[in-house]
């Protein structure tokens, strides 16, 4: 199972919006509404930000939103804040009953 494809890095200024893409295949992203997004600050535990493509867990800011079109899912962060600077990973359930992660995207807040 190949990793999902994410851009290695994205950046934005405080207050701006950014979007991170996550491209898979019909065997994972395109085949299920089981796409999740995680925020990971190095040295800390990853944090679930989005599940089921576009749902937010309790306590996650509504500045974070998710969507999907075909084999590509996206995470949008609006009103960028300094604390949003982190690594972001998408993941998807697959037809093999496994989970596949994306390669990760480093978000820099300028």
Partner 1 sequence: EVQLLESGGGLVQPGGSLRVSCAASGFTFSSYAVNWVRQAPGKGLEWVSAISGSGGSTYYADSVKGRFTISRDNSKNTLYLQMNTLRADDTAVYYCARGRSGQYHYSDMDVWGQGTTVIVSS
Is residue 102 within 8 A of residue 108, CB to CB? The reply is: no
Among residues 13 and 97, whose Cβ is nearest to partner 1? 97
Rule CB under 8 A: say whether 48 interacts with partner 1: yes
Q: Which of 19, 31, 10 is nearest to 98 (CA)?
A: 31
Rule CB under 8 A: say whether 72 interacts with partner 1: no
Q: How far apart are CA 110 and CA 82, in angstroms?
A: 8
Point out which span in 17-25, 35-43, 64-72, 74-82 binds partner 1 (CB under 8 A).
35-43
Q: What 3-state DSSP class applies to 96?
A: coil
Point out which span in 9-17, 67-75, 76-84, 85-93 binds partner 1 (CB under 8 A).
85-93
Rule CB under 8 A: say whether 30 interacts with partner 1: no
């Amino acid at each position: 199972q190949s990793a999902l494809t994410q851009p290695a890095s994205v950046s934005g200024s405080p207050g701006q919006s950014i979007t991170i893409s996550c491209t898979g295949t019909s065997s994972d992203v395109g085949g299920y509404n089981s796409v999740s997004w995680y925020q990971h600050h190095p040295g800390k535990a990853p944090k679930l930000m989005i599940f089921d493509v576009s749902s937010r867990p309790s306590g996650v800011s509504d500045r974070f939103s998710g969507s999907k079109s075909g084999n590509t899912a996206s995470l949008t962060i609006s009103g960028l804040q300094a604390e949003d600077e982190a690594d972001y990973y998408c993941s998807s359930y697959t037809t093999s009953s496994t989970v596949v992660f994306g390669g990760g995207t480093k978000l820099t807040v300028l």
